[in-house]
Chains A and B, each alone.
Chain A
Amino acid sequence: MTKVTMTVNGASVSGEAAGNTLLVEFLREELRLTGTHVGCDTSQCGACSVHVDGKLVKSCTMFAAEADGTDVITIEGEAAEDGTLSTVQQAFQDHHGLQCGFCTPGMVMAATALLKENPKPSEAEVRHYLEGNICRCTGYHNIVKSIMAASGQNVEPMAAE
């Protein structure tokens, strides 16, 4: 066990982690930030996506010790202090971009990272960027729509009918 210190959602936190403790385990078990989910054991689903030093990272692919000294943002850190949803979060609600909600934290973290890199992505770019995030509920239609809407683009033509 070693002591690991990092900034999570703006607050400095520290805890004990074994050498093989994954960042996602540290977040969920040690810090009780259970918004970050685990959907697979082969780094394929993206349910565990967080931002580490501003980069999109699958937190099941990183040891907690590797994140020592970094700045981590999880889904719990996306809304404003007063609870106001971020633009991406709000767009997901407005356009029904989630059903069971299990993939959602990862989707929101991925979408937020995408829009930082590419503020006006095309539909194809959105779909391509989500290659590492699986959703079983939505058929992706409304996820894509939510992200396009969050980027300020007109999604009227993507209305379902």
Chain B
Amino acid sequence: MNLHAIRAIYRFEMARTGRTLMQSIASPVLSTSLYFIVFGAAIGSRMGEVDGVHYGAFIIPGLIMLTLLTESISNASFGIYLPKWSGTIYELLSAPVSWIEVVIGYVGAAATKSVILGLLILVTARFFVAYEIAHPFWMVGFLALTAVTFSLFGFIIGIWADGFEKLQVIPLMIVTPLTFLGGSFYSINMLPPLWQKIALFNPVVYLVSGFRWSFYGVSDVNAALSFGMTCAFLAVCLFAVWWIFRTGYKLRN
């Protein structure tokens, strides 16, 4: 294991985050604050409780997930796309590193940033609504697991993409709709029965549901199932990355 390489990549990526601190930290925090003001304070005050939780508090886990998914994907995909685009990837390809070290470095940095962001939003939420966390250990667990999984997914997108548009298309066209339809702002029990069934095909439902359970002890689907589904997606992504480096897909001619 080339630990020096992992450290070098991780530091490099964290430094990149540091240089763009404003857009990488401030803007998600700001936009989530706006959600809290609009949905939590303004509209939420006129809404009833959902699953016994005040609406403003109910949306916190979903909002964090929303940011976590989009930020993990965009960070990790950009992190690996940038050297591909600028040509500096030659160094990574000619270095004595295996895919494991590359992934730990890039995905680790992207996930770290997402977790920090998630926690920041959690703190920000405190200014708008009161909430408690029933299972803090599982809360952090879901946060980290989701950050890692979706950073890995973003990493794959970054390798696959051969233009800036492609980099945007999956987060925009697939992830954002899935997140909005995944019960970030409502319980899927509020949907008509048919849509409840369809919603179960949406992986984000499991993420949001599991995460919400760690806060309030209530969930749309079983928390263990949520955990299992997230792990399964992580395994699929790991396999894809392993395959990419084995075949050199889009990396080595």
Q: Do A and B come from one complex?
A: no
Chain B positions within 8 Å of A, measured between CB atoms, are none
Which residues does A use to contact B, with CB under 8 Å?
none
